[in-house]
Amino acid sequence: MKRILITGANSYIGTSFEKYIKENYPEQYEIDTVDMIDGSWREKSFSGYDSVFHVAGIAHSDSGKISAEKEKLYYSVNTDLTIETAKKAKADGAGQFIFMSSAIVYGESAPIGKDKLITKDTPVSPANCYGDSKVQAENGIRPLNDENFNVVILRPPMIYGKGSKGNYPLLAKLAQKTPIFPYVKNERSMLYIENLCEFVRLMIENGESGTFWPQNAEYSNTSELVKLIAEVHGKRVRLVRGFGWALKLMSHVTPIVNKAFGSLWYDMGMSGYEGFDTVALTDSIRKTESTS
């Protein structure tokens, strides 16, 4: 039985992963969680854990300029705390450290009407301190990797699922309220939470190291996604073309427009790992929107 320590209590990804493992692989893994808010975690030994799954972090929830205090917090939690935790995991004899980075290390989505395809050769180009805090964390933990300590860096696209936060629940609410929605041609990589959980399990089971880009096996289109969500709830949304110009104007006023309708997708060959994308896009929306 492999032992896993989740560093970061009550996070969406951490709690989802623990639930997923207990429901699907109860006999194969033992999971503990430690709270990172106070300093008591420093007194806990990480010895004996096959993997430390680090999910503690400050999420990106700002638009525009942020305060110096908030910027300092991003680096304190997303960078410094990550590096300190990884160093402790290695010093205590844990076998692996898995860090939740993000596609945000490549910058924001492309503006409406533009494409942004990311390949393995695409350099990181963070557009804000949140993205840079992730890059600096990656740079700080990567050198810790050796034959006895495996460092895994995950750069997932937008993660969604029941109880998730961010842009997806906003689209889901809109899908249930509006009879019409603008059609915009875009492509986005997304990652359903259960597919992420299985990917992380495989990282642990196979003792992997390196940088990985997990994503669903299908790209998403924002307009079609809204239509699909509505259909799950028994509603009909008509997609209307010709609103691209208006959305482009709005994108200069609020960054939310490009976040929702811009393009950002990974080359499908980057995922390069079999067996984790067990839930197809349509099924994932049904499971996310189900009331049970």
Residue 98 within any structural domain of the chain: yes
Kindly report, residue by residue over 2-22, the tens digit of the pLDDT.
999 999 999 999 999 999 999
Q: What is the pLDDT of residues 162-203, one digit of tens each?
A: 999 888 998 899 899 889 888 988 999 999 999 999 999 999
Q: Is 124 a member of any domain?
A: yes
The burial of 198, by beta-carbon neighbours within 10 Å (0-12 exposed, 13-18 middle, 19 or more buried), is given as buried
Percent of the chain with pLDDT over 90: 73
What pLDDT score does 284 carry? Answer: 97
Q: Where are the beta strands (DSSP E) in 124-249?
A: 150-154, 158-160, 180-182, 190-192, 210-212, 238-240
56 belongs to a structural domain: yes
Average pLDDT value over all residues in the chain: 91
Query: Which residues are registered as beta bridge partners of 154?
Result: 100, 212
Choose among 198, 118, 114, 183: nearest CA to 155.
118
Query: Angle formed by the axes of helices 82-92 and 129-141, to 10°?
Result: 20
In a domain? residue 68: yes
**pTM for this model (two decimals):** 0.93
Residue 210's beta-bridge partner residues?
Answer: 152
Rounded CA separation 258/250 (Å):
9
Indicate whether 285 belongs to any domain: no
The domain containing residue 120 runs over which residues?
2-159+190-217+265-278
Q: 6 in a domain, yes or no?
A: yes
Distance CA 4, CA 29 (A): 7
| C-alpha dist (Å) from residue 161 to 252, 283, 289 | 30, 11, 8
- Domain count of the fold of the chain: 1
- 170 by DSSP, 3-state: which? helix
Question: Residue 146: helix, strand or coil by DSSP?
Answer: strand
| Direct distance between the N- and C-terminal alpha carbons of the chain, in angstroms, rounded to an integer | 31
Evaluate whether residue 292 is within a structural domain.
Answer: no
Kindly state whether residue 173 falls inside one of the protein's structural domains: no
Q: How confident is the model at residue 54 (pLDDT cuts 50, 70, 90)?
A: very high
Asked if 36 contacts 7 with a C-beta cutoff of 8 angstroms, the reply is yes
The CATH number of residue 120's host domain is: 3.40.50.720
